[in-house]
Amino acid sequence: MAAAIREERGLEAELVEGGGGVFDVFVDGTRIYSKQQTGRFPDAAEILEQL
């Protein structure tokens, strides 16, 4: 996903290892995606759309 963000938006993404199945995406301190809330992993297009 970091590669897709870099290629499509020219932004560098920082991947931070989590635990317990947590997968959240933050932009400038604001959460734009939470696997806990949706119950699934996002596809890259969903994240790119939010950027």
pLDDT tens digits for range 5-40: 899 999 888 888 788 888 999 988 889 999 999 999
The pTM of the full predicted model, rounded to 2 decimals, is: 0.76
SS3 47: helix
2-50 folds as Glutaredoxin (3.40.30)
Q: How many CA atoms lie within 13 A of 14 on its CB side?
A: 5
Q: Is 48's pLDDT higher than 90? A: yes
* Residue 41 pLDDT class (50, 70, 90 cuts): very high
- Residues 26, 17 contacting (CB under 8 angstroms): no
Q: Domain ranges in the chain? A: 2-50
| DSSP classification of residue 42 | P
| DSSP classification of residue 13 | P
Token pair for 25? 């995406």
| DSSP classification of residue 40 | S
Question: Residue 15: what pLDDT?
Answer: 80
